[in-house]
Amino acid sequence: MDAILLQILNGLDKGGAYALIALGLTLVFGTLGVVNFAHGALFMLGAFVAVSVQGLLTISKKVKDESITFFDAYKETPYLELWWGDIGTAIIDFAVPISILVAIPVMLLIGLAMERGLVRHFYKRDHADQILVTFGLAIVIQEIIKANFGANPIPTAAPAAVAGSANIGALFGIDGLVYPWWRMMYLVFSLAIIGAVFAFLHMTTFGMVVRAGMHDRETVGLLGINIERRFTIVFGIAAIVAGLAGVMYTPILPPDYHMGMDFLVLSFVVVVVGGMGSLGGAVAAGFLLGILQSFASMNEVKSILPGIDQIIIYLVAVIILLVRPRGLLGKD
Amino acid sequence: MTKKTISTDQSRRDFLKTSAATSLVAGAPMLFMKNAHAYVNEPKGGTVTLGFNVPQTGAYADEGADELRAYKLAVKHLNGEGDGGMMNTMKPMSLKGNGILGKKVQYVTGDTQTKSDAARASAKRMIEKDGAIMITGGSSSGVAIAVQSLCQEAGVIFMAGLTHSNDTTGKDRRKHGFRHFFNTEMSGAALAPILEKEFGKDRTAYHLTADYTWGWSQEGSIKKYTENLGWNTKAAVRTPLGAGDFSQYITPVLNSGADVLVLNHYGKDMVNSLTQAVQFGLRDKNVNGKDFQIVVPLFSRLMAQGAGKNIKGIYGSTNWNWSLQDAGSQAFVKSFGAEYGFPPSQAAHTCYVQTLLYANACEMAGTFNPCGVAGALEGFKFDGMGNGPTEYRAEDHQCFKDVLVVKGNENSSSQFDLLKIVEVTPRSKVEYAHDMEGYAGNLGSCNA
């Protein structure tokens, strides 16, 4: 029972990341009709916003390390700690939560620049052209990050207060069942973001116009509504969602320049399984595939089907597409 | 009739003589040509090119970056620049500080990307286009074995960098390949007595293993030695190299009944899996009435740095550590530290030593010909390189030396003092027969 609970929780927190990336991806496809292969790069850029904020907060003074006698070595003490002592240390400790606030405007600007600067020129082109140009853009962004931050992953820790594990067994009456705080926070955070996006689309006039535009862009345009401008903003929102998913993921996985590509392929599978353009489908498929991947990694499963953990997502995608060619919640 | 017969005999004799003379005349240029191109990439002019093939991206990029630093330092020292590093302590030594055999050393680099195909392509480019006479590097046994095999076919020497799988000098050994680094068999032999002393004989282990040659090799060696102690192996689960998030493999450990987690991961993978194992509260658990333990059989300071405080108190083995007090280690640390501002890793150490050993072998052989160099390295005994008396065993091209058992330092004296040496296991305790079951291989013959 406890093993199953753990795998479900693990699948949900993985699924949270898949769902957040897939949500933005399918939002852009549903509104602009663009297959955006640079969406994974937005996730990665979000993570690097956290890295940059951490870097800024830890700008340090070099002090000679007297314990090293073989050569001149230096210890680095952040100025924030030198100036403000414990308060400075606490601010540095909260680098990731602070990054969430910074990432919202930064990712919005990046999203708008990407859409206005490049993607809009490809609205009326084939999907193949869109894939090529956005994939190229993803590689360019990746290389810029690599040139500036190096190829190695950069550890970015969660605040010390939530770096450990929570005794969730107490809730279910199971002794010794623990789960990391930050992963549970990631799950709650992803649900909150998904909820906010759905609320925005369903409970605001802006969202209503966007949804109307997704169904029939021409008619909405004939009503005198500048649907293109709204879609541009939707692109910015998708960038924010991907970026926030990236920021929050940094304590789980130290970011490197390639992390976007690692998630992009999985997220495309999620979008396709959910149904291209279906927001609910993307979210459902994200959580479903996360949980399946988690269960497939269990020893009992791997001992019967070795290697199943690495192919389960693709296997399920094949089966679902055979049974429902338009995905789980895709419309004919 | 007789006359005709004589005439025929003379004609046959003439024909044979003419043929022999023609063959000799025609063959002579070939002999000269053979001498002119006696072996692949024979250095012409005043320089010799070495190829440094290291992971600059991928799961082992940290190690690769440090390896490259060490190679560059070795080139400096070989060319008579800098303070000379271990050239001041190596014994016996034929190097003169004027390059190799009087030729200035230059180098080309490649990115293995921690992938065998990329590493082979990179090594091929360095051999065919850049004229590299020797290839060195690694940080992944899969890569090392693939490149070693390529170098054998291409006719150049391969001096392996960080590669820990038994197979590199076991079943996949090659005449042109040499490994200074230790291997999983040695790690198992060195670690087992310490694990018994610290954790006892009644333990249940759960292995998470990188799914490629090194992971399999290490899992096999650690299982062999811990099961000999009386430990039970609950499960051995394979994880993909560079998986990133290992949480789905860690959650099953929590309630498996195991009280020891053996992480057969290295580099970025080990940093991630260890950090996540700690986040899941494994180190705070008590199972079967015992404190849960984590063991990382192959340790490095770079990994310790990446894993931060999570590494404290965790046992493992290492080929070398910068805190060693012998003259060779101190000379290298001083030289490397002055150049880069921090001490070298074990990956940097083995790569630096390998470059000097190759250069020294060329000087000993008086040639760059790989057959001569291989001959000089086989059975070569040396000291002053940081590991005490060391021997390149002729039968499998594996170096035999002392092995360090370490644990994550709980009372660091500096930012670099991350590993504490618990035991220096003598060579005699980790030595094994070159034709041991499951280890035997065939070197093949020299290809020049």
| Residue-averaged pLDDT of chain A | 89
Tell me which residue in A3, A178, A258 faces B280 most closely, judged by beta carbons: A178
Tell me which residue in B245, B279, B342 faces A73 most closely, judged by beta carbons: B342
Say if the Cβ atoms of B245 and A253 lie within 8 Å: yes
- How confident is the model at residue A331, as a pLDDT? 67
- How confident is the model at residue B10, as a pLDDT? 53
Chain centroid to Cα B235, Å, comes to 29
Please give the CATH topology (third level) of the domain spanning B185-318: Rossmann fold (3.40.50)
Q: Quote the minimal CA–CA distance from A246 to chain B in Å.
A: 14
Q: Quote the minimal CA–CA distance from A125 to chain B in Å.
A: 35
Say if the Cβ atoms of A153 and B268 lie within 8 Å: yes
* Residue A294: closest C-alpha in chain B: B248
- In sign, the C-alpha dihedral spanning B209, A307, B287, B254 is positive
Helix (H) or strand (E) holding A32: helix A2-32
- How confident is the model at residue B327, as a pLDDT? 96
- Residue B2 confidence class, pLDDT cut points 50, 70, 90: very low
Mean pLDDT of B237-264: 89
Percent of chain A past pLDDT 90, that is, above it, reads 46
Q: Quote the minimal CA–CA distance from A6 to chain B in Å.
A: 6
Task: Give all strands (DSSP E) within B16-70, no chain letters.
Answer: 47-54
| Residue-averaged pLDDT of chain B | 89
Query: pLDDT tens digits, residue range B11-39?
Result: 656 655 655 555 554 544 444 444 445 88
Tell me which residue in B62, B308, B338 faces A152 most closely, judged by beta carbons: B62
pLDDT above 50 (res B4): no
| Of residues A34, A7, A27, the one with CA closest to residue A194 | A27
Chain A, chain B: beta-carbon pairs less than 8 Å apart: 122
Percent of chain B past pLDDT 70, that is, above it, reads 92
Q: Quote the minimal CA–CA distance from B274 to chain A in Å.
A: 12
Q: How far apart are CA A246 and CA A255, in angstroms?
A: 9
pLDDT above 80 (res B56): yes
Q: How far apart are CA A114 and CA A125, in angstroms?
A: 17
Tell me which residue in A65, A259, A262 faces B414 most closely, judged by beta carbons: A65
- How confident is the model at residue A29, as a pLDDT? 86
- Six-digit token string for A227: 């649907």
- How confident is the model at residue B313, as a pLDDT? 92
Contacts of B338 in chain A (CB under 8 A): 71-72
* Residue A151: closest C-alpha in chain B: B57
Domain ranges for chain B, please list them.
Answer: 47-182+322-401, 185-318
B47-182+322-401 classified as CATH 2.60.40.1580? no
Contacts of B272 in chain A (CB under 8 A): 153, 253-254
User: Considering only A13-17, A121-125, B297-301, B303-307, which range has the smallest mean pLDDT?
Assistant: B303-307
- Six-digit token string for B168: 């590199």
pLDDT above 80 (res A152): no
Give me the phi and psi of B82, to 5 degrees please.
Answer: 70, -165
Name A317's Cβ contacts closer than 8 Å, sequence gap at least 6: A269, A272, A273
- How confident is the model at residue B85, as a pLDDT? 96
Q: How far apart are CA A246 and CA A310, in angstroms?
A: 22
- How confident is the model at residue B11, as a pLDDT? 60
Query: pLDDT tens digits, residue range B309-326?
Result: 888 999 999 999 999 999
- Six-digit token string for B321: 């550590």
Contacts of B56 in chain A (CB under 8 A): 151
Q: How many other CB atoms are found less than 10 A from the CB of residue A52?
A: 19
Most B CBs within 10 A among A68, A139, A162, A314, hence the mutation to make, goes to A68
User: Considering only A58-67, B28-37, B321-330, B349-358, which range has the smallest mean pLDDT?
Assistant: B28-37
- Six-digit token string for A321: 């597409």
Say if the Cβ atoms of B341 and A71 lie within 8 Å: yes
Q: Are A281 and A25 in contact (CB under 8 A)?
A: no
* Residue A249: closest C-alpha in chain B: B245
| Of residues A299, A310, A280, the one with CA closest to residue A22 | A280
- How confident is the model at residue B369, as a pLDDT? 96
Which ipTM did the prediction report? 0.82
Describe chain A by its helix, strand, coil percentages, rounded to 5.
Answer: 70, 5, 25
Show which of residues 276-295 on chain A sit within 8 Å of chain B, judged by CB atoms: 293-294
Q: Are B140 and B114 in contact (CB under 8 A)?
A: yes
Q: How far apart are CA B258 and CA B226, in angstroms?
A: 14
Query: pLDDT tens digits, residue range A27-53?
Result: 888 888 888 899 999 999 999 999 999
- How confident is the model at residue B431, as a pLDDT? 94
* Residue B62: closest C-alpha in chain A: A152
Do the strands B47-54 and B419-425 form a parallel or antiparallel pair, or are they unpaired? Answer: unpaired
Tell me which residue in A11, A13, A297 faces B249 most closely, judged by beta carbons: A297
- Residue A183 confidence class, pLDDT cut points 50, 70, 90: very high
Domain ranges for chain A, please list them.
Answer: 2-49+102-323
Query: pLDDT tens digits, residue range A111-150?
Result: 999 999 998 888 888 888 999 999 999 999 999 998 898 8
Does any CB of chain B come closer than 8 Å to the CB of residue A143? no
- In sign, the C-alpha dihedral spanning A34, A40, A43, A44 is negative
- Residue B3 confidence class, pLDDT cut points 50, 70, 90: very low
**Whose structure tokens read 């293993």?**
B209
pLDDT above 90 (res B141): no
Query: pLDDT tens digits, residue range B151-189?
Result: 999 999 999 999 999 999 999 999 999 999 999 999 999
Burial of A148 (0-12, 13-18, 19+ CB in 10 A): exposed
Q: Are A280 and A148 in contact (CB under 8 A)?
A: no
